[in-house]
């Protein structure tokens, strides 16, 4: 698989160090809210690896929950149509929700998800994104916990995929152009 990437953007060590920083910030910011309940919500499948590591870096009791949302299909561009394939297992009403996102790309899916979750009356809702792409057409989505800004290239690894492959790479890399056409 290493031959399928053109170059590594963020190493395994870079990612681990940045997640510790994010976990420390969340621990500090939510220390007085833990009794109300903190729920980490991620969208399967891409965000699962990041959420597992981030949950371990937060030194407070947290619940975790998952959604499956479709907007990409098997292509490389968002379709603009968002469908919930798997909803949350528990209520988030009155709880502090942190949406754990692998990458903010167009922001369309995340915007939809935030609106949907806000309608369920959480005490608060914020976003923790491992990556934020630098794109001009990105939706205005606020992420107060952001790991890295990345170029507007097709990236894989650490949960991010191309046609369901490369999620298990321990780093984040740009996919070679001959593999993403």
| Model pLDDT for residues 123-136, shown as the tens digit of each residue | 999 999 999 988 77
- Helix/strand/coil (H/E/C) assignment for every residue in 68-98: EEECCCCCCCCCCCCEEEECCCCCCCCCEEE
Q: How many CB atoms lie within 10 A of CB 162?
A: 18
The span from the CA of 126 to the CA of 144, in Å, is: 7
Q: What pLDDT is attached to residue 136?
A: 72
Name the DSSP letter for residue 165: B
Q: What pLDDT is attached to residue 45?
A: 87
pTM of the model: 0.89
The span from the CA of 73 to the CA of 61, in Å, is: 34
The span from the CA of 77 to the CA of 74, in Å, is: 9
List the catalytic residues: 105
Residue ranges and CATH numbers for the domains of the chain are: 12-152 (3.40.50.2020)
Low-confidence ranges of the chain (pLDDT < 50): 74
| Model pLDDT for residues 70-100, shown as the tens digit of each residue | 775 545 555 557 889 999 999 999 999 999 9
Strand partners, 126: 98
Q: What pLDDT is attached to residue 79?
A: 53
């Amino acid at each position: 698989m290493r031959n399928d990437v053109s170059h590594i953007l963020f190493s395994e060590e870079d990612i681990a160090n940045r997640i510790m920083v994010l976990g420390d910030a969340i621990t500090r910011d939510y220390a007085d809210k833990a009794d109300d309940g903190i729920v980490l919500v991620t969208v399967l499948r891409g965000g699962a690896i990041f959420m597992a590591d981030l949950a371990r870096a937060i030194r407070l009791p947290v619940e975790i929950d998952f959604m499956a949302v479709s907007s990409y299909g098997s292509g490389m561009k968002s379709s603009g149509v968002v469908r919930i394939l798997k909803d949350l297992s528990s209520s988030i009403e009155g709880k502090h929700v942190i949406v754990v996102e692998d990458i903010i790309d167009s922001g369309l899916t995340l915007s939809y998800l935030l609106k949907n979750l806000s309608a369920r009356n959480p005490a608060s809702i914020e976003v923790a994104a491992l990556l934020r792409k630098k794109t001009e057409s990105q939706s205005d989505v606020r992420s107060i916990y952001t790991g890295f800004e990345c170029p507007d290239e097709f990236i894989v690894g650490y949960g991010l995929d191309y046609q369901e492959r490369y999620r298990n790479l321990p780093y984040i890399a740009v996919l070679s152009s001959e593999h993403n056409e």
